[in-house]
Amino acid sequence: MLETRALLTMFVVDSLTDGSLEELANDGKLSLREALEAANTNASVDGSLADGVLASRF
């Protein structure tokens, strides 16, 4: 049996805007708050990667 492995994910923050996730959603840019939310929940936030799958951002 192989050991469990974790893969690292890199988020490219391209917005300096801050606010609630609702205010930042769907603006086509990834803020630090959205990147942290995506990393902590393993969910797509504003088109970021979710579980290794690219969400529709472009």
- Percent of the chain at pLDDT > 70 equals 78
Phi–psi pair at 37, nearest 5 degrees: -65, -45
Say how far apart CA 41 and CA 52 lie, in whole Å. Answer: 13
How many Å separate Cα 49 from the centre of its chain?
Answer: 6
pTM of the model: 0.67
**Tens digits of residue pLDDT in 43-53:** 777 766 555 55
Q: Name the β-bridge partners of 50.
A: 53
Dist CA 20 CA 3 (whole Å) = 38
Domain residue ranges of the chain, discontinuous segments joined by +: 29-58
Average pLDDT score over residue span 23-42: 87
